[in-house]
Each structure stands twice: as C-alpha cells, then as structure tokens.
Amino acid sequence: MVTLTGLYLQAIGGGLGSMGPIVMMVAVFAIFYFLMIMPQQRKQKKWAEMLTQIKPGDKVVTSGGLSGVVMSARDETLILRLPPDNIKLEVVRSSVVTLTTNEEEKPKS
C-alpha cells in the first residue's frame, strides 16, 4: 500500500538526501563523546589533582594493592611505610589509586 507521505518523500529526494549518513555519523560521535569520552576526561583530571595533593602522613593504596602511609613525597616518587613490619618502599606517584588524608579519618563530633 502506498501512502501519501511515502510518495511525498520520494518526490523531494528521500528527506535528507545525501546528508542523512553524515548527520547520523555526527549524532553517533556526539553520543560517544558525551557518554564515554567526557566522563573519562573528568575522572582523569580528578585523579591527577589527587596525585598533586599527596603529602606525608596520608594513607594510600597503589595499583599493585600495597597500602601504606606516605613518609616522604618527592616530584615523581613516594616513600611508603608498609605495615606490619614498617617496611620502607619507594613507589612512583602515578601508581597511587586511592588516597585517605588525616582529615578524612578524624571522627566528626
């Protein structure tokens, strides 16, 4: 069955014509940007800011699963004290995954 709308679209060249695929590609790219790229950039910026705020006395967990207290912080490296034997270990600052500062540990009264 032929509809009036179908005949009209055929007469004007199929709606968007040759622009249809280009519009769809732009729409797909916009969806990918807002759903995947933008949140990852925010997460990366927050992680980089966290790395700059590391100071001695903070508790950290590295990407290798080591958790310890920062004894000293240099430009690219940290010296961690690992319990229970108080082992000193030098790690690269970028290997830190989580940070717990002394202010976060104090109970709020």
Q: Which two tokens stand for residue 85?
A: 């034997």
58, 101 Cβ separation under 8 angstroms: yes
Q: What is the mean pLDDT of residues 9-22?
A: 66
Answer yes or no: is pLDDT of 109 > 60: no
pLDDT band at 104; cut points 50, 70, 90:
low
CA–CA distance, 101 with 33 (Å, rounded to integer): 33
- Provide the whole-model pTM: 0.68
At 10 the pLDDT is: 63
Q: How many residues does the chain have?
A: 109
Give dist(CA 106, CA 104) in Å, integer: 6
CA atoms within 13 A on the CB side of 49: 6
Six token digits for residue 83? 């319990």
In this structure, which topology does domain 53-105 adopt according to CATH?
A: SH3 type barrels. (2.30.30)
- In the prediction, which pLDDT does 3 show? 74
Q: Is the pLDDT of residue 12 over 90?
A: no
Question: For 30-87, what is each residue's pLDDT tens digit?
Answer: 999 999 999 999 999 999 999 999 999 999 999 999 999 999 999 999 999 999 999 9
pLDDT band per the 50, 70, 90 thresholds, residue 20: confident
Residues 4, 11: Cα–Cα separation, whole Å:
11
The Cα 27–Cα 58 span in angstroms is 45
Quote the CA–CA distance of 100 and 79 in Å, as a whole number. 16
